[in-house]
Amino acid sequence: MKKYIALGLILAGTAAFAHGGVKDPDVMNRMMGMSALAKHMKLIGGMAKGETTFDAAAVNTTLGKMSEEASYIPSLFETEADDPKSEALPVIWEKFDTFTDHAATLETLTSGLAGTVETEADLRSVVQQVGKACGACHSTFRE
């Protein structure tokens, strides 16, 4: 019985996580949060590049999800956890207010954009603005 449970966990683990080798649960959780953001960004970016069919409703829903995900960033990083695979810089916990300001910027930006996308032409500016908000935090707080 135990064997089956272990195998189930391993399979669930490989399906859900693309971060092999990360052992610290807090680091894993925050990486999963970031991966969710990246997945959402990819969906919008794919449409912006014309790789996938434009779907205004899907973009607006995705922006709403990104805002929700961004609202979790401060709690995901609250614990100063580390892992050999982590790219988080220690300055996060020295300047946690600035760090959470970046998260709040992303949250406000995406919630404000959600519902505004009507045509394919709107996508470019959305991708630029959101990408800038991700990059603003990464440039200081990520390796």
Q: Which CB sits closer to ligand HEC, 6 or 131?
A: 131
Tokens linked to 43: 């969906």
Instruction: Decide: is 47 part of the binding site for ligand HEC (CB under 6 A).
Output: no
Q: Which CB sits closer to ligand HEC, 71 or 142?
A: 142
Structural contact between residues 69 and 40, judged by C-beta atoms closer than 8 angstroms: yes
Q: Which CB sits closer to ligand HEC, 31 or 117?
A: 31
Each residue 25-44 as x (binds ligand HEC by CB under 6 A) or -, in order, gives --x--xx--xx-xx--x---
Instruction: Decide: is 106 part of the binding site for ligand HEC (CB under 6 A).
Output: yes
CA 57 – CA 48 distance, rounded (Å): 14
Tokens linked to 6: 């272990």
Using CA atoms, how far residue 64 sits from 44, 46, 55, in Å, is: 12, 18, 15
Interacting stretch for ligand HEC, rule CB under 6 A, among 5-13, 23-31, 49-57, 113-121?
23-31
What residues make contact with ligand HEC under the rule CB under 6 A? 19, 27, 30-31, 34-35, 37-38, 41, 66, 73, 86-88, 92, 99, 102-103, 106, 130, 133-134, 137-138, 141-142
